[in-house]
Amino acid sequence: MSQARLSDQVYAGIVEIIKAEALEVGARLPSEAGLAEMFGVSRAIVREALVRLAADGITEARRGAGSFVKSRPSDRLAAFMPLAELPTTLGSYEVRFVLEAEAARLAAIRRTAVEMAHVEEGLALLRAALLSSAPAHAEDMELHRRIAKATGNPAFLLVFDALRSDIERIMRAGVDISRSRPPEVIATMLGEHEVIVDAIRAQDPEGAALAMRWHLWEGRRRLMP
């Protein structure tokens, strides 16, 4: 089994510990040595998993003092996504923050009338799906993809598509979680997309980048309450 796969298992195992032992925010995790023994792996593998848990905002390292719980993945998340998939799906957010914010910025500067119509149509499809009982993650994905396309630079699409399966997995979970939530959350998700599209239409590059980054940030927060 590859080393990457091992650290994914340890990552999921630590999330499991946080949930099963109901560790509160601020609680201290077992030591690196303890975790290595628990999972039967080297300390280097444990360290790799801890770095990624910190990157995803689940734990926090304090120099010389160990790792602590920073936020607990939501129970809903666990219900909709196998724990083993958590590390790759959360990790994709960190790339999307910069990648899609830049795509929204450039789309606002360069979108042609044709691309703008394409984005507007994407928003209309997402709105219809969110407001009906249909699952909406395909439409959500498609709107983000159309914004990447409106940059006029195929490299954004290339990279977006490389992340596609990770993004799809998390959108599916995010949308499913949201759909079992009250209508206000649906309205919020729709409103966030509308602000992005408004800024691209108004050719406001900084507004578009900020609105996209905020939307993704809030999306990640909705997974980890």
Q: Which two tokens stand for residue 72?
A: 């607990």
Minimum distance, C-beta of residue 134 to a copy of itself, in the bound complex (Å): 29
The binder of a copy of itself chosen from 34, 154, 191, 225 (CB under 8 A)? 154
Give the list of residues 6+ apart from residue 71 with CB closer than 8 angstroms, or none.
25, 57, 58, 224, 225
Please state the separation of Cα 45 from the chain's center in Å: 24
Show contacts with a copy of itself in window 165-224 (CB under 8 A): 166, 202-204, 206-207, 210, 213-214, 217
**CA distance linking residue 201 with residue 203, whole number of Å:** 5
Residue 109 token pair: 């500067």
Stretch that binds a copy of itself, among 12-20, 27-35, 102-110, 119-127 (CB under 8 A): 102-110
Torsion of CA 114, 120, 126, 130, to 10 degrees: -170
Q: How far apart are CA 224 and CA 214, in angstroms?
A: 15
* Sole binder of a copy of itself in the list 2, 63, 133, 183 (CB under 8 A): 63
Q: Which is nearer to a copy of itself, 122 or 207 (CB)?
A: 207
Using CB under 8 A as the criterion, which residues of the chain lie in contact with a copy of itself when the complex forms? 4, 44, 47-48, 51-52, 54-55, 57, 60, 62-65, 70, 88, 91-92, 94-95, 97-99, 101-102, 106, 110, 112, 114, 151-156, 158-159, 161-163, 166, 202-204, 206-207, 210, 213-214, 217
